[in-house]
Amino acid sequence: MSDRKPIIADRELEMYRSVVETPTEFKNGFTWVAVAGAFFCGLLMMPGAIYLSLMTGGGLAAAWVTLIIFSEISRRAMRTLSQQELVILLVVAGAMAGGGPMASLVWRQYFIQSDAIRDIGLLGKFPAWFAPQPSSEAITDRALWHHAWLVPIALIFFMHVVGRINSYTLGYFFFRITSDVERLPFPFAGVSAQGSMALAESGERKTTWKWRMFSLGAMVGIVFAAVQIGIPLVTGALLAKPVQLIPLPWYDATRLTEVLLPATPTGIVLDLGIIVVGMIVPFWAVVGTGSAILLTLVMNPILHHLGVLQRWQPGMDTIATTFSNSIDFWMSFTLGATLAIAVISIYQTGRDMVGKVRQLRQAGIDAGAKRESVWATPPGRGDFSPWIALGIYFVCSALVVGLCHLLVPGFPVLFLCFFTFVYSPLISYINARLIGIVGQNVEIPYIREAAYILSGYKGVEIWLAPVPVENYGGRAQDFRSQELTGTNFWSYVKSDCLIVPLSFILSFVFWAFIWHSGAIPSDVYPFAQKMWDLQAKNTALLYSATLETHGATPLFYQAIHPGVILGSFSFSMIAFLLLSAFSLPVMAVYGFVQGIGQMPHGFLPLVIGAFIGRFYLQRRFGQKRILQVMPVVVAGYGTGAGLVALIGVALNLIVSAVSAAPF
């Protein structure tokens, strides 16, 4: 590999890049251990993850539970698992511990019969390839195994497979460019790799500090989760309505503060895990997000007083307030700010590309030497020709274009080709560079929506079709993290060949059972009950842009305010230029954009964690040391909370199975 210095020189970012040294040897990690771990985690952990996602919106650190169990079993069998085997086991178990692809079907059954869909006149007008009709037995009987779901399931499977292939190929192509060629720092890759390797040596107990920190985090997670999710899970299985000592998913104070802060959603997420995570999140990103949220809290009462936030009414909760404010102001403000960041990002990408070409020319590198230095790879990493990867991407994407044209023949194919062969590769490269530089993601806002509107198409089908508007830039960081673990890339490909079919089967079984056992959402699932309503409203808002309204102004156009967009765009551009002029961290800018108009509920615990990490832990123990230790603590915390969740979920499944038995 070339030892060229990175283009971007930033001390804080370089600290993140140096958390884990790039290995010189790569090994295969996909063995029978990964296969056994996939079945173990899928069968035992997936239902727990489903329950948690519906209750709190959080995930389950079941992968770490699996890792510990397999490490202990192998140690007693006088066999030590290699670091690469443990890393792949963690990846496989983590994928199997998610809710799986069938979660989207349960969401669809709620969405097609929601109040938001009823209000825009789409009830019963969704195509059969998306979901059955609300009057179908597949919906009324809550039967996921009904034949009416066959076509939607087949489409999900096809798109999932193609999506995985495209993410590997195009993501790998941009990894080679941004990491191998441009040598960007990828500040979060080292932290991610450090977390993945946290227990790699625990089987031999050589690195005792990792085991101690993991155990500490696990104990804290067990104690807190027993109160936060353990009690609701147990009482939900035995009583008609679960008991919550800690409000889930948050404590809503909007109605209590509406006199002092009208039209302002307020509340707090009472989750110790967010505080722990805040200790390793880049500090300036938190500062930027906090600034945006504080600006939102200050501006909402002022905007209401000026008559801008006119849809808000006293008595609205967090969800209703957030949605009404979004239509009146914040959707347009966010659109302008995001557009500014997109323009800045595209400009920086073009500038750095030109600078790189000039750098190579000034160094006097001829064409042959350039190819050798640019595309040289470490032996054993599992590389292949990036041009083959690019070719596979274009073939698979062409199949998706054909599928979309088959489903929605009235939509212009030219737009589909533009998204597939121009926009997706372009935005993926821009994001790969941004993630490689500052660890932040950016999108050109509403480009898909603009294309749908400009095409003149009328109807809801185009919103439901799998139009290939994708951003694979994040995969470049994934490859960098995988490289830092010393694991051969093909190990991950093999693991996906196992994960994809197995996750589909198990996801179908568990979602079918849980949905058939009770309505989703309901009081048993507080996060889904609140957030699915907001998600349905926001989605219906977009769909209204291409519907026939017979003279009435669609809700989408009511939420677009050109003056607000222009003002937000100008404000964001000026803020970025000022931060750049004073050499302030650019992470603050991206954090600011992400926090605009957002609910402040999860911000306070994140800030508490960030300040503890920055001004106490890092000053006492050193920044690099904390970035190495805290991911292990976070993993332990997630494992402890996951163990509590698994016990509660097991009780729920047993009760549901017994109550459904015919005796």
Distance CA(560)–CA(196), nearest Å, equals 43
Q: What is the pLDDT of residues 412-442, one digit of tens each?
A: 899 899 988 998 998 888 888 878 876 667 6
Tell me: cis bond preceding 445? Omega within 30 of 0 counts.
Answer: no
Q: Which residues pair with 487 in a beta bridge?
A: 27
Does residue 3 lie within any of the structural domains? Answer: no
Find the farthest-apart pair of alpha carbons in the chain and give their distance in angstroms, rounded: 83
H-type alpha helices, 97-184:
103-111, 115-119, 137-140, 150-175
Does residue 5 lie within any of the structural domains? Answer: no
Split at pLDDT 50, 70, 90, the class of 363 is low
Cα angle value 406/412/414 (rounded, 5°): 110
* Beta carbons of 209 and 630 less than 8 angstroms apart: no
Does residue 6 lie within any of the structural domains? Answer: no
Given the structure tokens 């998706």, which residue do they identify?
Answer: 400
Does residue 241 lie within any of the structural domains? Answer: yes
Secondary structure (DSSP) of 167-230:
HHHHHHHHHIIIIIIS----HHHHHHHHHHTTTTTTTTT--HHHHHHHHHHHHHHHHHHIIIII
Cβ contacts of 495 within 8 Å, gap of 6 or more: 30, 34, 38, 88, 91, 92, 95
The pLDDT, as a whole number, for residue 169 is: 92
Distance CA(379)–CA(488), nearest Å, equals 10
Distance CA(104)–CA(616), nearest Å, equals 43
- Which amino acid is present at 514? I
* Beta carbons of 284 and 587 less than 8 angstroms apart: yes
Q: State yes or no: pLDDT of 193 exceeds 80.
A: no
Q: State yes or no: pLDDT of 92 exceeds 50.
A: yes
Q: What is the pLDDT of residues 502-549, one digit of tens each?
A: 999 999 999 998 898 888 888 888 888 888 998 999 899 888 888 876
Mean model confidence pLDDT for the chain: 81
Q: State yes or no: pLDDT of 150 exceeds 80.
A: yes
> Minimum mean pLDDT among 181-195, 300-314, 458-472: which range?
181-195
Q: Which residues pair with 267 in a beta bridge?
A: 252
Does residue 1 lie within any of the structural domains? Answer: no
Distance CA(226)–CA(640), nearest Å, equals 9
The pLDDT, as a whole number, for residue 236 is: 78
What's the distance, CA 67 to chain centroid? 23
Domain that holds residue 531: 11-660
Rounded to two decimals, what is the model's pTM? 0.78
Cβ contacts of 603 within 8 Å, gap of 6 or more: 289, 290, 293, 595
The pLDDT, as a whole number, for residue 359 is: 62
Does residue 434 lie within any of the structural domains? Answer: yes
The pLDDT, as a whole number, for residue 159 is: 92
Q: Mean pLDDT over residues 170-180, rounded?
A: 88
- 3-state class (DSSP) for residue 76: helix
Given the structure tokens 């597949």, which residue do they identify?
Answer: 138
Q: Which residues pair with 268 in a beta bridge?
A: 251
Split at pLDDT 50, 70, 90, the class of 577 is confident
Structure tokens at 309: 């936030």
Does residue 496 lie within any of the structural domains? Answer: yes
Q: What is the pLDDT of residues 246-286, one digit of tens each?
A: 888 889 999 999 999 999 999 998 888 888 888 887 788 78
Domain count, the chain: 1
Distance CA(520)–CA(528), nearest Å, equals 8
The pLDDT, as a whole number, for residue 438 is: 67
Cβ contacts of 342 within 8 Å, gap of 6 or more: 442, 443, 444, 445
Distance CA(442)–CA(589), nearest Å, equals 12
- Of residues 551, 405, 394, 536, the one with CA closest to residue 467: 405
